[in-house]
């Protein structure tokens, strides 16, 4: 499966533009993590890109979300590792994160919200001026980007990254696609 096939399927199944931007941001972070760990960048990117393809279909019901998404990815031709990462990024199913890709997607998913919120509170609403240290400071503020699960983000230690390094990597990755995210 290639990225264009994935994007076409996303456009067919996801109407919320902010959700699509979240998926693009997650793809960018997953690609950066793949480069960092010398893994398959295209495969990791697809996991990030497709991970929420079923959110509207499942009405964001965490009891269901990610099971249809993993199946949809499989039908599109994604490999087993990608499908498993998509399935386990939602911990409601009780399926453990096993691979490095699984663990990376689990902690990258909520990081996009924290970083996006960091850009949106700026007067210019752009990622370019956001610094990792300001995101790190806001990490401690529970009300800031309240939907970004801090415990989940902090699981970056499970992939061998300290929180500061993870935030820096995620921010730089998202800056690279800021135009696609509407934050340029």
Give me the pLDDT at residue 180, please. Answer: 98
Which residues 6+ apart lie within 8 Å of 169 measured at CB?
29, 32, 33, 36, 161
Structure tokens at 46: 């697809």
High-pLDDT (> 70) share of the chain, %: 100
CB 24 within 8 A of CB 11: no
CA 73/CA 91 separation, integer angstroms: 18
- Domains of the chain in start order, with CATH, are 3-179 (1.10.3210)
Q: Report pLDDT digits (tens) over 46-72.
A: 999 999 999 999 999 999 999 999 999
pTM passes above 0.95: yes
CA 66/CA 129 separation, integer angstroms: 34
Give me the pLDDT at residue 124, please. Answer: 97
């Amino acid at each position: 499966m290639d990225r264009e096939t994935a994007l076409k399927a996303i456009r067919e199944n996801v109407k919320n533009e902010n959700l699509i931007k979240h998926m693009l941001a997650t793809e960018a972070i997953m690609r950066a993590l793949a480069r960092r760990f010398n893994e398959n960048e295209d495969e990791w990117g697809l996991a990030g890109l497709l991970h929420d393809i079923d959110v509207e279909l499942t009405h964001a019901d965490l009891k269901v979300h990610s099971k249809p998404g993993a199946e949809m990815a499989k039908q599109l031709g994604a490999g087993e590792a990608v499908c498993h990462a998509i399935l386990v990024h939602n911990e409601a199913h009780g399926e453990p994160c096993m691979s490095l890709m699984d663990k990376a997607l689990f902690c990258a998913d909520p990081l996009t919200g924290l970083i996006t919120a960091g850009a949106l509170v700026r007067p210019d609403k752009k990622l370019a001026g956001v610094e990792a240290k300001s995101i790190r400071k806001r990490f401690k503020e529970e009300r800031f980007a309240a939907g970004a699960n801090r415990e989940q983000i902090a699981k970056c230690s499970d992939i061998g990254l300290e929180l500061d390094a993870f935030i820096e990597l995620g921010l730089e990755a998202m800056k690279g696609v800021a135009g696609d995210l509407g934050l340029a």
